[in-house]
Structure 1
Amino acid sequence: MAAVTGPGDPLALGELLPPPPPPVSSSRGSRWGDHEEIAQIPFKILQGHKDAVSSCHFCCEDTKILSSSFDRSVKLWDVAKGVLVQVFEEEHTAPISECSLNPDNKRVITSSYDKTVKAWDMETGKMLWTIEHEGLVTSCNISYDGKYVVSGLDKENAICITDAVSATMVMYIQDHHRSTVTRCCFDPDNQRVASVSYDKTIKLWDTVAQSTTITINEGHSNVISDCCFSLDGRYLCTASWDRTLKIWDIKTGDFRHHGPIVLKEGHQGSVSSCLFSKDASLVVSGAYDKNIAVWDIRTGYKKLTLQGHGDWVMDVAVSSNKKWILSSSKDSTLRLWNIEKADHIPAVIENRKRGSQIVQCEDCEKPFSLLQCNDSGVVTKCVFCRLATPTRNILPLPPTCSPDL
């Protein structure tokens, strides 16, 4: 294991770090925290929220950051200048559980424990409409075409699909889960909604057929906290309090025979959030251990862990060019991490070497990790090549001993 370069190094290598540096001013014109000179992974701290930051996103071609908070506000930040551009507040009467952006970045959707979903005009910060529910709203997500909003509820363990313009209810699926829905989101084709729950199940609802097309019972051994689709809609990643992430091939249904790809031993606490990079080569996760993990999907190993938040990480995001990782935390801050040169850091190289057994894919000839595979066979193709073909090329394992013994 490589040595830690200094007490403020956010690249976690199994050692605890001291508390984060003193906060900067929280005024709207405040600057961000400076890059730490001794850090191998440079980062900036963004402060301004007064309570836990529940959700965060890159937007406007990665020039802006959108965040929501338990302080009942949503804030839009300018990345380059490090200043607030817009504040959406004084409408919600309880913590905001999540915020979501429509594709043209002109409208913001928020869900709250005040039992409402609200739409906001990005430019003016004015509220456009409000939908009232009978229970707490735990999650919200706007479809990729901007036409619909899905929200997850604790009342009747339901999901609700609403017209994003008229604010009229389109579908209400009660008792969709056996317990509170923790996260729901549209697939990139705008035809299916994935939802996860305290009941440990994963469900996909087809909006055209108006029925559940996939149910994965006991998808994890504990509460499933988050889910996200890859941009091509082929993979669904789920994060759980069982400290693992799982990647499911939902387009071909191959997981029914061979199970999901399991990403484990990345966190020491319950995993709270997950997100694919735009090209699905990375998965970023945040957890109750206060850390962010960056996973290389092709080779199946954890590249690095980013450490520095003072409390558990509630949400994560990754920029389109994979240069920046964004995290929001219960410590009321956001952190922007520059991982552009991470591949050259000795610790990342060491993690890659000892993370798992690396073999060469017989199709694309790129390296991949056997850590990805749950199959009781010898896997000769990487996950991308295996998912691109109807069947996997799996050879039987040679016997470990003579059948007569």
Structure 2
Amino acid sequence: MAARGSRGDPLALGPEPEPEQKPNPIPADGRWGDQDAVAQIQFKILRGHSDTVSSCHFCSEDTKVLSCSYDRTVRLWDVAKGFPIRVFEEEHTAPISECNLSPDDRRVVTSSYDNTVKAWDMETGKMLWTREHEGIVTSCNISCDGKYVVSGSDKGNAIFVFDAVSATVVAHVQGHHRSTITRCCFDPDNQRVTSVSYDKTIKLWDMTTRSTSITINEGHSNAISDCCFTSDGRYLCTASWDKSLKIWDIKTGEFRCHDPVSLNQGHEGSVSCCAFSQDATLVVSGGYDRTIAIWETDAGYKKLSLKGHCDWVTDVAISENKKWILSASKDSTLRLWNIEKIDHIPSVIESRKEKGSKIVQCEECEKSFLSLQCSDFEMISKCVFCRLSSPVTRVLPLPPSISPDF
């Protein structure tokens, strides 16, 4: 079963603790509640699912949210009102592992442990087609041009590519991984399918040559749970049960010669999901420690943790304008976090002061970024993306070490 379907932190040595029951700080009508006392970030809880929320997305220019759940339903939410405006149900017969939207927001594709991938009409809620698999389907994704769908099945650790309109199979790659595929997705150019797995590997399968063009066997020391691209398709971020995230320069192939940039010590347990902002300046991740970490990509450090979920975070998304973070959880809820004023939060300001940070211009690409001091005399002079292809200056400052609980 996929990482998103695992119960509890897979790295924990003892029995899974019961989720802490906290008083409900948000009115049932979905209005904004009081600020989180720790993070000072306003949030809204979206309630409606009756089981683990496995996947979530912003859509309709950030005015709506799409989610799916182990309760076998897909829900479309109004962000302003905070409640579902459409429910897709009574079709899947087992937990839904992932949902995905077409670029025009007109169709929804879902994958399920009932061995199927289904397509739905967003406007009417009617099912358009069903594609049967021989095993449970752990992930699904629609290409950025809306033409193809890719899915990952645990039967033979295979990926399927099929036509998004007719559901005709275009490719079936059996034995693509050595273990269960946890996530598969198209790159923004619709040229390659990327997949990650329990087997700790990253694979890119080429749509033109119909072959695996890239395999990365080293990088993570435990199962890889999620992956996401920057909007230009050059960089890939992977999240892992080894408690880290890594950023890879995929398009230029620099990863073949140099290590990826690592984002460490943001979570106290396994990292379950990740997402880039549209401009790639932020990475958001969720973990089994029930928190969401917000990373400053250029500087390579965690700027803030969001706490509030009562169980592990299964998926995250960030709005195009970077004002909102969306999180899904095993606690059956979604949360909307307003991060518009994140840089004015005292703890974020203080953290930057302690690290000796300042806004500088990258000496290579000439873009402005937040630079952190490596030592008493050295400031990083290149943004993280230029450092990916410059091994001499690859060392990134990281937050103080967090002692693991297991």
* TM-score strictly above 0.5: yes
Q: CA–CA distance in 2 between the matches of 1:239 and 1:395?
A: 23
The equivalent position to 2:23 in structure 1, one of 17, 21, 24, is 21
> What's the RMSD between the two structures over aligned residues?
2.4
> What do the CA deviations read for 1:274-317 (whole angstroms, capped 9, x no partner)?
00000000000000000000000011110100000000000000
Alpha-carbon deviation of 1:356? 7.9
Alpha-carbon deviation of 1:81? 1.6
Query: Is the CA contact 2:100–2:109 (under 8 Å) kept in the aligned structure 1?
Result: yes
Q: CA–CA distance in 1 between the matches of 2:70 and 2:78?
A: 21
1:368 matches 2:366: no
**Which residue pairs with 2:383 in the alignment?**
382
Alpha-carbon deviation of 1:21? 3.2
Q: CA–CA distance in 2 between the matches of 1:168 and 1:178?
A: 26
Q: Residues 215-364 of structure 1 correspond to what in structure 2 (within 5 A)?
A: 215-354=215-354, 361-363=362-364, 364=366
Query: Is the CA contact 2:196–2:224 (under 8 Å) kept in the aligned structure 1?
Result: yes
The letter of the residue matching 2:74 is V
Identity %: 68
Of 355-364 and 187-196, deviating more is 355-364
Q: CA–CA distance in 2 between the matches of 1:396 and 1:313?
A: 30
Alpha-carbon deviation of 1:380? 4.3
The equivalent position to 1:36 in structure 2, one of 34, 37, 40, is 34
Q: CA–CA distance in 2 between the matches of 1:325 and 1:396?
A: 29
Alpha-carbon deviation of 1:258? 1.8
The letter of the residue matching 1:368 is S
Q: CA–CA distance in 1 between the matches of 2:293 and 2:183?
A: 20
> What do the CA deviations read for 1:26-74 (whole angstroms, capped 9, x no partner)?
xxxx621532156410000010000000000000000000000000000
Alpha-carbon deviation of 1:18? 7.0
**Which residue pairs with 1:185 in the alignment?**
185
Q: Report the CA distance shift for 1:104/1:366 in structure 2 as closer, same or farther (over 3 A).
A: closer
Q: CA–CA distance in 2 between the matches of 1:367 and 1:79?
A: 31
Alpha-carbon deviation of 1:395? 7.5
Structure 1 spans left out of the alignment, 5+ residues: 1-16, 372-376, 398-405
Of 254-263 and 141-150, deviating more is 254-263
Q: CA–CA distance in 2 between the matches of 1:230 and 1:254?
A: 16
**Which residue pairs with 1:5 in the alignment?**
none
TM (normalized to structure 1)?
0.86
Q: Report the CA distance shift for 1:124/1:299 in structure 2 as closer, same or farther (over 3 A).
A: same
The letter of the residue matching 2:24 is P
Q: CA–CA distance in 2 between the matches of 1:19 and 1:104?
A: 39
**Which residue pairs with 1:132 in the alignment?**
132
**Which residue pairs with 1:14 in the alignment?**
none
| 2:221 alignment partner, SS class | coil
Alpha-carbon deviation of 1:384? 3.1
Query: Is the CA contact 1:24–1:47 (under 8 Å) kept in the aligned structure 2?
Result: no
Q: CA–CA distance in 2 between the matches of 1:223 and 1:234?
A: 23
Query: Is the CA contact 1:196–1:203 (under 8 Å) kept in the aligned structure 2?
Result: yes
Q: Residues 157-236 of structure 1 correspond to what in structure 2 (within 5 A)?
A: 157-236=157-236
Query: Is the CA contact 1:68–1:97 (under 8 Å) kept in the aligned structure 2?
Result: yes
Alpha-carbon deviation of 1:378? 10
Query: Is the CA contact 1:159–1:173 (under 8 Å) kept in the aligned structure 2?
Result: yes
| 1:343 alignment partner, SS class | helix
Query: Is the CA contact 2:284–2:293 (under 8 Å) kept in the aligned structure 1?
Result: yes
The letter of the residue matching 1:283 is V
Q: Report the CA distance shift for 1:48/1:346 in structure 2 as closer, same or farther (over 3 A).
A: same
Runs of 4+ residues over 4 Å off in structure 1:
355-360, 377-380
